Copies of this chain bind each other. A is one copy, B any other.
Amino acid sequence: MASNAGAPLKSYYERHIFFCLNERKNGEECCAQHRAQEGFDRCKMQIKAAGLAGPGQVRVNKAGCLDRCAAGPVAVVYPEAVWYTYVDDHDIDEIVESHLKNGKVVARLLIPASLGR
């Protein structure tokens, strides 16, 4: 990474997960058609219930299109830049428990590098 942008900063949130909640009005496929809102709600609820929400801990965030629609529904965890797809509550719970709480990536839910828009 060029210049000083890669300097070791303490991230305001230890982990910041963004869920694509994009909804296409023209009927095209979008994350909103694939339980994205439910996934977001579940994740937010679990993190709050665990007392992990807030600065220095975890933020569960709404986002617009993340432009990796071929893998949707998608979410990305920063600063690690780890991308997930998910199907149901079980997947969300595993991301919460393994990654967001304990820092261990959930390999089975990773998006293949080749999948983009």
Q: Which residues of B contact A82 (CB under 8 A)?
A: 5, 9
**A105 and B64: CB pair below 8 A?**
no
How many residues of A sit at the interface, in one of the four size bands? Answer: 35 or more
**A105 and B61: CB pair below 8 A?**
no
How many copies the complex holds: the figure is 2
Among A27-35, A86-94, A96-104, the stretch in contact with B: A96-104
**A104 and B9: CB pair below 8 A?**
no
Q: Which residues of B contact A61 (CB under 8 A)?
A: 18, 63-66
**B63 and A5: CB pair below 8 A?**
no
**B3 and A102: CB pair below 8 A?**
yes
A81 at the interface (CB under 8 A from B): yes
